């Protein structure tokens, strides 16, 4: 696990035609946004010349009042080749060995020489998986890393990380249970990320107004539609790209059904995209705003807020020390130098020769402590089992007690309704059914520290015949006037019949009627 980022840092995203920067204060409690700025690239600044970009960046940050010296750059999806690799867990025990296996696999798949690539990887496998090791690997050209370093140097910044922008988007979904499709709209590009528990499983980038150079999982290149259009047309194009992402993900080797679609942002544009995606993919969709652990100035507009959400996701990930693709500090393969191996072996031999006696004594002491630990562990396990059994019995007893407390006055309900029925000479009830609905709930912390809740309702279903339609209407109005029940009509509206369902949360009803019907019931 990498060291958590703390203190003041500026988050920077550089596109071909614009830049966005956010100064934040990262602490244990969350992320506080202090400054936000966005600026188009001026004429005369060549994106291929790092010194010009760095000078422009330095000017923009100074004018925006951003004084943080550490910079975390968001690397675009189009600059990185992403692959999910399935590795045999047998023989791979350390992180360094995982890195070596990843480099071996990518050597056969990358078009660039391995000497020109910077590679990082993260483990996607659950801890219980003992067969294979699923790894998300990312590769970026060394020249691009050098370009970022030169930009930071020209801007007077120190690089705190070069992290994949898709990882920040995925971090915003870390509390989601299963795979979700996240749509991150932007001024010039829209990124589509399939994430699970805050980890990237699949990513695509659609660039409006030009060709998009991207490598996806598997390698996928799309020609985005040209031109602009209304907001609804833009939302339709985003929904089409979302469906392409969904289809590409479905045919990949890790395909799972998506649980929902999340659109970053809360404005009108985000809502249009959400509606379009939901209609086209027929998957539940919702808009997502700021995470709870992020504090931001209220004067930031909705469009700017949606643009900086991926950057804030990177800040949350770095602040938590969570593992992610970071090309400024990639995981290293093992050093297999012969000289180092010989030195280590010689040192081990010296320790064995000089400290043999002490080692044997320590082993004896360790064995005694392990025996003691084993005995205490068995005792603790037995006590835990006994305690869990006690909690189970306590929960069952409380559940039975609360269920038993739901004891409605059936006779009272029948008498109450009988008092309000029409004259038996003019009306005849042919169906009378009472039922109890009760739900016992438990909320809050782990048992028994939470809170029990009991919700009960009594449902009365009654139908019968009347000699006049007005009698059934009067009956319904009379029942509604009592304000004790919710009254529903059942079946077709027939002139000589009534079919009603009454629902109330009251277990006991007053016997006396507020208004006795003319020729009322017995």
pLDDT digit string, tens, across residues 464-495: 898 888 888 888 888 888 888 898 888 777 88
pLDDT higher than threshold 60 for residue 131: yes
Q: List the 199-207 sheet strands across, edge first.
A: 199-207, 189-196, 180-185, 260-264, 285-288
Give me the pLDDT at residue 253, please.
57
Residue 241 has pLDDT above 70, yes or no: yes
Question: Taking Cα atoms as reference points, which of 461, 468, 479, 460 lies closest to residue 421?
Answer: 479
Please return the burial class of 329, using the count of CB atoms within 10 Å of its CB with bins 0-12, 13-18 and 19+: middle
Q: What's the whole-number mean pLDDT along residues 445-474?
A: 86
- On average, the pLDDT of the chain sits at 84
pLDDT-derived band of residue 121, with 50, 70 and 90 as boundaries?
confident
CA distance between the termini of the chain: 77
Is the confidence at residue 222, as pLDDT, over 50?
A: no
Of residues 86 and 183, more confidence is placed in 183
Q: Which residue has the tokens 């048992």?
A: 447
State the CB neighbour count (10 A cutoff) for residue 136. 25
More confident residue, 132 or 19: 19
Does the pLDDT value for residue 220 go beyond 70? Answer: no
Are the C-beta atoms of residues 306 and 139 closer than 8 Å to each other?
no
Residue 178 gets which letter from DSSP? Answer: S
Percentage of the chain beyond pLDDT 70 is 90
DSSP, collapsed to helix, strand or coil, labels residue 411 as helix
Which has the higher per-residue pLDDT, 206 or 323? Answer: 206
pLDDT greater than 90 at residue 230: no
Question: How far apart are alpha carbons 415 and 405 in whole angstroms?
Answer: 22
* pLDDT score recorded for residue 46: 86
Contact 495, 469 (CB under 8 A): yes
Name the region of 506 (left: φ>0; alpha: ψ -120 to 50; beta: rest): beta
Over residues 332-361, the mean pLDDT reads 78
d(C-alpha 85, C-alpha 163), whole Å = 20
Closest CA to 497 of 471, 521, 477, 478: 471
What phi, psi does 505 have (nearest 5°)?
-90, -5
Contacts of 466 (CB under 8 A, 6+ apart): 422, 426, 427, 472, 475, 496, 497, 498
- Give residue 130's pLDDT: 59
Whether the Cβ atoms of residue 327 and residue 118 lie closer than 8 Å to each other: yes
Mean pLDDT of 161-169: 91
How many other C-beta atoms lie within 10 A of the C-beta of residue 302? 14
Distance of CA 95 to the CA centre of its chain: 26
Enumerate residues 6+ apart whose C-beta is below 8 A from 459: 434, 435, 436, 437, 501, 502, 503
Question: 340 pLDDT exceeds 80?
Answer: no
**What tokens appear for 84 in the block?**
């999910």
- Residue 72 CA to residue 159 CA, distance in Å, equals 6
pLDDT attached to residue 216:
34
Share of the chain above pLDDT 90, in %: 27
- Region 296-305: what's the mean pLDDT? 80
pLDDT at residue 211 in the model: 36
Q: Is the pLDDT of residue 280 over 80?
A: yes
DSSP assignment string, 58-120:
HHHHHHTT----EEEEEE-GGG-EEEEEEEE-TT--SHHHHHHHHHHHHTTT-SS-GGGEEEE
Residue among 387, 378, 310 nearest 73 (CA)? 310
Query: How many Cα atoms sit within 13 Å of 396 on the Cβ side?
Result: 6
Reply yes or no on whether the pLDDT at 224 is more than 50.
no
Tell me the C-alpha distance between 282 and 276, whole Å: 10
Q: What are phi and psi of 183, to 5 degrees?
A: -110, 120
Same topology, domains 1-172+296-334 and 177-290? Answer is: yes
Question: Over the stretch 385-442, which tens digit does the pLDDT of each residue have?
Answer: 999 899 889 888 988 888 887 788 888 888 888 888 888 888 888 888 988 888 888 8
- Asked if residue 519 has pLDDT above 80, the reply is no
Nearest residue to 22 via CA among 297, 308, 344:
308
pLDDT at 336: 55
* CATH C-level class of 177-290: alpha beta
Assess whether the previous peptide bond of 446 is cis (omega < 30° from 0): no
Global pTM reads 0.59
How many CA atoms lie less than 13 Å away from 51 in the CB half-sphere?
0
pLDDT at residue 215 above 50?
no
Dist. CA 11–CA 307, nearest whole Å: 12
Using CA atoms, how far apart are residues 416 and 411, in angstroms rounded to an integer? 8
Contacts (Cβ under 8 Å, ≥6 apart) of 447: 391, 394, 395
Model confidence pLDDT, tens digit, residues 283-299 = 999 999 888 889 987 67
CB 20 within 8 A of CB 81: no
Q: Is the pLDDT of residue 188 over 60?
A: yes
Structural domain boundaries in the chain: 1-172+296-334, 177-290, 337-405, 410-504
54's enclosing H/E stretch is helix 50-63
Into which CATH architecture does domain 1-172+296-334 fall?
2-Layer Sandwich (3.30)
Q: Which residue has the higher pLDDT, 15 or 150?
A: 150
Q: Is the pLDDT of residue 219 over 70?
A: no
């Amino acid at each position: 696990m990498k060291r958590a980022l703390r203190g003041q840092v500026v988050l920077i995203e550089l596109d071909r035609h614009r830049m966005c920067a956010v100064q934040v204060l990262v602490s244990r409690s969350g992320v506080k946004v202090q400054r936000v700025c966005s600026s188009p690239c001026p004429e005369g600044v060549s994106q291929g010349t790092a010194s010009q970009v760095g000078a422009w960046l330095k000017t923009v940050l100074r004018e925006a009042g951003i004084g943080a010296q550490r910079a975390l750059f968001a690397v675009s999806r189009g600059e990185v080749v992403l692959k999910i690799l399935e590795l045999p867990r047998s023989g791979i025990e350390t992180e360094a060995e995982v890195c070596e296996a990843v480099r071996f696999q990518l050597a056969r798949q990358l078009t660039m020489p391995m000497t020109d690539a910077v590679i990082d990887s993260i483990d996607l496998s659950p801890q219980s998986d003992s067969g294979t090791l699923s790894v998300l690997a990312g590769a970026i050209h060394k020249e691009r890393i050098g370009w970022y370093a030169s930009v930071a140097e020209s801007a007077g910044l120190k690089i705190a990380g070069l992290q994949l922008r898709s990882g920040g988007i995925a971090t915003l979904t870390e509390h989601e249970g299963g795979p979700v499709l996240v749509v991150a709209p932007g001024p010039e590009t829209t990124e589509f990320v399939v994430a699970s528990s805050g980890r990237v499983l699949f990513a695509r980038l659609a660039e409006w107004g030009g060709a998009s150079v991207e490598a996806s999982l598997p390698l996928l290149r799309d020609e985005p539609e040209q031109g602009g259009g209304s907001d609804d047309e833009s939302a339709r194009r985003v929904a089409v790209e979302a469906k392409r992402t969904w289809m590409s993900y479905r045919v990949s080797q890790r395909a799972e059904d998506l649980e929902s679609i999340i659109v970053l942002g809360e404005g009108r544009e985000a809502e249009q995209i959400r509606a379009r995606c939901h209609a086209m993919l027929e998957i539940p969709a919702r808009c997502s705003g700021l995470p709870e652990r992020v504090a931001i100035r209220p004067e930031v507009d909705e469009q700017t807020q949606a643009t900086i959400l991926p950057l804030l996701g990177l800040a949350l990930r770095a602040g938590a020390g969570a593992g992610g693709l970071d090309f400024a500090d990639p995981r290293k393969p093992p050093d297999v130098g012969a000289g180092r191996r010989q030195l280590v072996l010689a040192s081990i031999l010296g320790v064995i020769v000089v400290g043999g006696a002490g080692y044997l004594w320590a082993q004896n002491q360790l064995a005694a402590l392990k025996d003691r630990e084993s005995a205490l562990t068995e005792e603790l396990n037995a006590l835990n089992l006994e305690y869990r059994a006690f909690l189970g019995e306590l929960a069952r007893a409380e559940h039975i007690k609360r269920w038993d407390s739901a004891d409605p006055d059936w006779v009272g309900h029948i008498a109450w309704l009988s008092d309000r029925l029409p004259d038996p000479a003019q009306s005849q009830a042919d169906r009378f059914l009472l039922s109890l609905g009760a739900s016992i709930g438990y909320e809050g912390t782990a048992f028994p520290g939470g809170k029990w809740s009991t919700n009960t309702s009594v449902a009365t279903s009654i139908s019968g015949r009347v000699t006049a339609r007005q009698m059934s209407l009067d009956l319904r109005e009379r029942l509604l006037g009592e304000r004790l029940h919710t009254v529903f009509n059942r079946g077709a509206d027939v002139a000589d019949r009534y079919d009603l369902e009454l629902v109330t949360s009251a277990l006991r009803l007053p016997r006396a009627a507020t208004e006795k019907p003319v020729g009322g019931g017995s």
